[in-house]
Structures are given as C-alpha cells and as structure tokens.
C-alpha cells in the first residue's frame, strides 16, 4: 500500500556486529590512530575537504564504526599535502596514517 | 548513612501534589482518539476516590498544537492560556490539572517564561483584558492527570478487581511504559523522577502487578513530534521513529504498552498498522500487534470496568488477546454497539495485522 511516505533506513550502528578487522590492522601499523580525539582540526585545515568531502576525522570514525566503503571513498579526495599533520594537537602523523590506510585498502584489492 | 544519602537524592526527584480541589482542562484530541479516557479519569477521581475535580465547558485549546507546529507565536498561546487561568480563578480553584502532556508542558513553559520575564506577563494581562475583559491568577500548582493517578495508585490498587498478571501462570505482564516528551524532558523537576528516572507510569504498572521492561529506545519520542506528522512530507520521520522504538522493544516481548500522552498511544497504536502494511511485520504474538493503552484505560481495566465502555474497540491493535491473558471478561457481540444499543460501523480489516 502506498501511503505517500515511507520508513527511512535506520542509521543505528550495532557495535556488537561491526567487523573491526580493518581498524585493528590500522592500529597495528599506526598505533597513533588510537590517540585521535576527533577534534576535527585535520578536517578544518584540509584543502581538499570543501571540494571532495575528504575528512580525516570522518575517515577514522567511519572505520571505527564499520563504514569502510564510505571511508575509502573519502580517502580518494586526499592530495597528501600534509597540512592536517601540522595542526594535529595529538601529534598524529595523519598523512602517514592516510598512506597506511590506502596501503591496507590496496592489500584488500590484491 | 549511604541509604539515607540515596533517599535524600531520590527526594529531589519527587514532587508534592495537592490532595484535592482541581480545575480540569481536557485535551483537544483525546476525545476523538481514546474517547472514554477523560470520562473515566473523572469517574475514578470523583466517584471512587471522592475528589473535587471541576471542569467548565467554556475552556478551549491551550494553543499547544498550533504553537509547536509553528503556526501561532508564543504570545498568542500565552493569551489563550491566560484565559484558561481566568476561568479557573472565576471558578475559585488554585490547582490546575491537565489531561494533555503538551498542555502540561505548555502551561509550565509559559509560567516559567513569565517568572523570567515579568514584563511579558504584564503584556499578556493587558492582551487578555483588551480581548475579553478577564483577569487571571497564576495557578499555585500545575499537574498532569497521570500525576494524580500516580498519587492514588495504591488506593486504586486496593480497589482492583484484576491485576496486570497472566491469569493462568500468575506471572507479571511485561509492560512497556512510554512517557510523553513534554512531561519531564522540558522541565525535569516538574515530573515524578525527573527526566532521568521518570516513574509516573512505571509506578502505576508496578503497583498494579506488572513488570516494567527496560529497552534501549525507552525514552525515544513516539514519533508524533508535531511537524513530523502534521506536514505530510515529513511523515516518514514520524513512522521511522515509531519503527525504531518497536524494533528496539521487540526482543523483550512486551504484552502491552501504557502511555500518558494524547499523541503517543495514537501513534504507537496506528503506526503498527502502517508498519505492517509497509513491511509486512507485526510485533505482537501470532500476527497481532502490541496493544497500547492510556493510563486511564489501564486503571479502568484494573478496576473492572467493561472494556467496551472504556473505548477499547476504537484501538487499531486488537486488545482481546490481552484481555484473555489477564482473564478480563468481555462480550464480543457488544464490541461495536453504541450507548443506545445500536450497532456502530465496523472498521475494515488490515491485510497483514491480525485483528479480532
């Protein structure tokens, strides 16, 4: 029956059911990923962000919540300029973290 | 000493409710949705508990629906409310009791606003005088009708003919309680248990023998949300909210839902039909839905009033399986008989949701 409106898909994330393989692998290569406090300084300074939707904060959060394909899509907008690394208050080498993530995604493709 | 400390903390979440002499204001929509609820509230308070509850046919809407739908400014709602207060003053009452949760929130919000901005109160006094030559006093106490039933829950329990237990096994019924958002989310100190531990309905359920279910989305909105439903383009948000709640409570197998707001029982009841038509899913046992009741209806059932006199035939979700579970007698032939004994129209049956 068509009511003229419908139920929106749920945005609930059940962390008991999320596959953390990718996040665990990232933390293995880049232990600093655990230091991220999601302040968003990296995203605020990102040159590519306004045009491509790239956000290091969202990439890390996405991987922590099992939204891996969304994270991969965002990573493609990165120009590896390294400005995010310069502003990170936790001293995370975000540029290197992005490269490591690309490498992990590359491993998956092979 | 620790127990005393906890007792002291809990006392901060309580509120003292005057025992008697109430000026009652009805809801705009409840008499259409759940027609016997207000009648039975008055019957229980006046006839069974012997309380003085006065109502006047001259009172109007509080303006809450229009205010929350962004169709009138707050000053208009304030002037409408000021007129209700004037009627209360003229009738000689100082304690206001509202049938509607949104009215309760609206009255409370307006009184708090006037406390913060006395110049606004003066302006509304002037507006009211210009509009209808009336003057008002701010009520000494504003309560929601469920507060009164909560206060007298043990007296009602002592008069109970039935309890919220399985008539065969003697196990307590598994009850979901849903409190209207405007009860204590706006002004936590105005509700029993505040916004963190609101116990106005769980107290009734436990007093009448039921077991309250705690589930993840327990404090989530029912889905009404005014503009979420009233604007058709937003209606998907409304049904999605309700769907989220039902998905969350489903694993706990609730027998029934009790609510204290005009919109919540309507949407939790009717959306079960819509969800069943959209997704082919029902949440009760054997293809039925989960019956949804107002607290007056539950009090009426516990006290032994006839289910059809309580208006339970107006519900979308069939209540008969629950009545049988508790052991409350009912006559199926009288389900659709009006007060004059003539048959009223029977509703069509849904394609998925099982009804009696």
Preferred mutation among A5, A11, A12 to probe B, highest tally of B CBs within 10 A = A5
Q: Which of A34, A23, A36, A13 is nearest to A85 (CA)?
A: A36
Residue A39, SS3 per DSSP: coil
Interchain CB distance below 8 Å, B277 and A10:
no
At residue A110, does pLDDT exceed 60? no
| B120 phi-psi bin (left φ>0, alpha ψ -120 to 50, beta other) | alpha
Q: Can you tell me the ipTM of this complex?
A: 0.80
Say if CB B123 and CB B75 are below 8 A apart: yes
Interchain CB distance below 8 Å, B236 and A6:
yes
**What value, to the nearest 5°, has the Cα angle with vertex B106 and ends B104 and B107?**
70
Domain with CATH 1.20.1050.140 in chain B: 18-145
Residue A25, SS3 per DSSP: helix
Say if CB A15 and CB A23 are below 8 A apart: no
- What is the pLDDT at residue B60? 95
Nearest-Cα distance to chain A for B45, in Å, is 41
Interchain CB distance below 8 Å, A10 and B244:
yes
Domain with CATH 3.40.50.11810 in chain B: 153-334
Q: Report the topology of domain B153-334.
A: Rossmann fold (3.40.50)
Residue ranges of chain B with per-residue pLDDT less than 70: 1-3
Which of A7, A10, A12 is opposite residue B279, by nearest beta carbon? A7
Say if CB A18 and CB A71 are below 8 A apart: no
CATH number belonging to the domain at B18-145, selected among 3.40.50.1700, 3.40.50.1370, 1.20.1050.140, 3.40.50.2300: 1.20.1050.140
Preferred mutation among A3, A7, A12 to probe B, highest tally of B CBs within 10 A = A7
In chain A the domains, ranked by start, together with CATH numbers, are 21-107 (1.10.1060.10)
Nearest-Cα distance to chain A for B317, in Å, is 18
DSSP bridge pairs for B95: B141
Kindly give, in sequence order, each residue whose CB lies less than 8 Å from that of residue B178, ignoring residues fewer than 6 positions away. Answer: B201, B218, B222, B245, B257, B258, B259, B261, B264, B268
This prediction has a pTM of 0.85
Number of neighbouring beta carbons within 10 Å of residue B257: 28
DSSP bridge pairs for B292: B257
Identify all chain B residues contacting A4, using CB atoms and an 8 Å cutoff.
232, 235
Which of the 8 DSSP states describes residue A48?
S
Interchain CB distance below 8 Å, A5 and B244:
no
Size of interface A-B (CB pairs under 8 A): 32
Q: Across B100-195, where does the E strand assignment appear? A: 141-144, 174-178
Which of A1, A5, A12 is opposite residue B239, by nearest beta carbon? A5
Average pLDDT over residues A64-81: 92
DSSP bridge pairs for B54: B23
What length does chain A have?
110
């Amino acid at each position: 029956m068509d009511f003229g409106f419908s139920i929106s898909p749920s945005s609930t994330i059940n962390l008991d059911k999320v596959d953390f393989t990718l996040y665990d692998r990232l933390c293995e290569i880049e232990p600093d990923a655990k230091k991220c406090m999601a302040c968003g300084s990296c995203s605020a300074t990102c040159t590519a962000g306004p045009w491509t939707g790239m956000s290091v904060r969202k990439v890390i959060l996405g991987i922590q919540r099992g939204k891996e394909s969304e994270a991969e899509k965002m990573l493609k907008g990165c120009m590896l300029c390294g400005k995010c690394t310069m502003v990170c208050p936790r001293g995370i080498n975000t540029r290197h973290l992005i490269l490591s993530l690309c490498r992990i995604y590359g491993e998956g493709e092979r | 000493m620790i127990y005393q400390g906890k007792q002291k903390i809990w006392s901060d979440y309580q509120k003292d409710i005057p025992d008697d002499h109430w000026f009652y204001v009805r809801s705009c929509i409840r008499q259409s949705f759940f027609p016997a609820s207000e009648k039975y509230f008055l019957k229980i308070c006046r006839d069974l508990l012997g309380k003085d509850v006065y109502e006047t046919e001259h009172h109007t809407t509080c303006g809450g629906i229009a205010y929350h739908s962004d169709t009138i400014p707050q000053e208009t709602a304030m002037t409408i409310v000021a007129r209700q207060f004037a009627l209360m003053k003229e009738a000689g009452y100082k304690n206001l009791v509202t049938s509607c949760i949104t009215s309760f929130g609206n009255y409370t919000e307006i009184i708090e606003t006037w406390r913060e901005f006395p110049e606004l109160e003066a302006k509304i006094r002037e507006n009211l005088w210009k509009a209808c030559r009336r003057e008002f006093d701010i009520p000494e106490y504003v309560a929601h009708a469920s507060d009164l039933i909560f206060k007298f829950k043990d007296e009602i329990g002592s008069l109970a003919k039935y309890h919220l237990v399985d008539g065969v096994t003697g196990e307590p019924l598994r009850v979901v309680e849903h409190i209207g958002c405007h009860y204590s989310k706006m002004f936590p100190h105005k509700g029993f248990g505040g916004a963190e531990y609101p116990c106005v309905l769980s107290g009734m359920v436990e007093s009448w023998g039921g077991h309250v279910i705690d589930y993840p989305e327990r404090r989530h909105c029912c889905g009404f949300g005014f503009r979420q439903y009233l604007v058709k383009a937003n209606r998907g948000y409304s049904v999605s909210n309700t769907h989220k709640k039902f998905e969350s409570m489903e694993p706990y197998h609730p027998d029934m839902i009790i609510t204290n707001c005009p919109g919540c029982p309507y949407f939790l009841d009717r959306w079960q039909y819509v969800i069943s038509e959209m997704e082919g899913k029902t949440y009760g046992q054997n293809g039925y839905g989960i019956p949804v009741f107002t607290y007056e209806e539950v009090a009426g059932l516990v006290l032994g009033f006839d289910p059809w006199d309580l208006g339970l035939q107006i519900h979308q979700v069939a209540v008969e399986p629950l009545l049988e579970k508790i052991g409350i007698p009912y006559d199926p032939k009288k389900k659709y008989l009006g007060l004059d004994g003539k048959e009223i129209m029977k509703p069509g049956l849904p394609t998925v949701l099982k009804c009696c």
